[in-house]
Amino acid sequence: MKKVLRKQIGLWMLSMAMLLGFATTAFAASETESNNTLGQANVYNYGQGAGGSVNSSDTVDYWKITNVPSGSHFLSGYSGMSMSVLDSNGSVIATKPVGESTVWFSTASTGSIYVAVYYTANSGIYYYGYNVN
Ligand SMILES: [Ca+2]
């Protein structure tokens, strides 16, 4: 009886670990360096979150979000990082400064946008996450 229970708990923990692993890969894009220019941006589809890290020797991460529908959107991200939203031509259309966690912007047609995440010198803050909805 005890052995069976232990086995069930073991299986339950395994399935929870698999579920968490799946959740991480299904709902959040993770960065791949180099991603320090628009041309090297890590690409993912609208509807996912993204996360990574920056530091004094890797001061920016660029992300490209594809299939963003037209209309109003907001970027919700870690307040410890400055983040900018850029249009498909690379022009900044919105900026979330350090200390704030959301910024609104709008897009005129379905297409791609970029998000740039900047390290703040001497902040000691390296890890970030954000969503665009
Ligand atoms: Ca980077």
* Band of residue 22 on the pLDDT scale cut at 50, 70, 90: very low
Distance 12 CA to ligand 1 centre (A): 37
Residue 23 pLDDT exceeds 90? no
Residue 18 pLDDT exceeds 70? no
Distance 7 CA to ligand 1 centre (A): 44
Predicted local distance difference test score (pLDDT) of residue 8:
59
Q: Which residues contact 86 (CB under 8 A, 6 or more apart)?
A: 38, 92, 93, 113, 114, 115, 116
126 vs 28, residue with greater confidence: 126
Section 85-103 average pLDDT: 97
| DSSP secondary structure letter of residue 40 | G
Predicted local distance difference test score (pLDDT) of residue 99:
96
110 vs 12, residue with greater confidence: 110
Ligand 1 (single-atom ion) residues, CB below 5 Å: 35-36, 58, 61
Residue that the structure tokens 């920016």 belong to: 60
Section 93-106 average pLDDT: 97
Distance 40 CA to ligand 1 centre (A): 9
Joined tokens for residue 98? 């350090």
Distance 61 CA to ligand 1 centre (A): 4
Q: Look up residue 109 and give its amino acid.
A: S
Q: Look up residue 65 and give its amino acid.
A: I
pLDDT digits (tens, 9 = 90+) for 35-82: 999 999 999 999 989 999 999 999 999 999 999 999 999 999 999 999
Distance 31 CA to ligand 1 centre (A): 8
* Band of residue 28 on the pLDDT scale cut at 50, 70, 90: confident
Q: How far is CA 46 from CA 7, 103, 113, 120, in A?
A: 40, 17, 10, 26
